[in-house]
Structure 1
Amino acid sequence: MSQNYSYFAHKECEYFPCHKGADPENFNCLFCYCPLYALGRNCGGAFQYKENGIKDCTNCLFPHRRENYQKVIARYKDILGVLKRLEAENRTESGENA
């Protein structure tokens, strides 16, 4: 069975490839905005935090490698956990019932 859904390269994009040193023939744009970013230090990618606290993923190619599609998808439960925790915190702060 084909897995064409798991990879696409938007070679017409003015930023393609958006990470220096990336192999343009094996650069997956499917996760252009990385869903793993929300996992902070637990994302599994090559990142650093800048002095201002912003997470810098400039050197991370993990979600852009064709072979990592399933690894990214496998982390969606972790991402959902982060979102649920944030929602619970927001409800608590606003005085809503959980």
Structure 2
Amino acid sequence: MSENYKFFQHKDCEFFPCHKVKDTKDFNCLFCYCPLYTLGDKCGGNFKYVNGIKDCSNCLIPHSKNGYDYIMSKWEEVSRLASENHKK
């Protein structure tokens, strides 16, 4: 079975690529905005806080070849957080 659903590239986007990379061949645009952002320190990415705002500009997890699988592995945490916030 094909796994094409795990990769999308939008080369016509005015921000492509949105991160500095040596080669854009495997740059994945599927998660243009990372769904793990809301996990804060638990996302597992290479980020820092600048003036209290999470800066993910050095993180390539959602744009990497295995980014889809990594994000799906964290999906239960994202879902749980969304459910907890909904109950408030």
Shorter-normalised TM range = over 0.9
Q: State the shift of 1:66 in Å.
A: 1.6
Alignment length, in residue pairs?
88
3-state SS of 1:55 partner: strand
List structure 1 segments (4+ residues) > 2 angstroms apart after TM superposition: none
Q: TM-score, normalised by structure 2?
A: 0.93
Q: Give the unaligned 5+ runs of structure 2.
A: none
Between the aligned residues of both structures, percent identity stands at: 50
What does residue 79 of structure 1 align with? 78
User: Unaligned stretches of 5+ in structure 1?
Assistant: 90-98
The Cα RMSD (Å) is 1.1
**Structure with more of its chain in helix, by fraction:** 1
Pairwise mapping of residues 1-98 of structure 1 onto structure 2 (< 5 A)?
Answer: 1-21=1-21, 23-51=23-51, 53-89=52-88
2:30 is aligned with what amino acid?
L
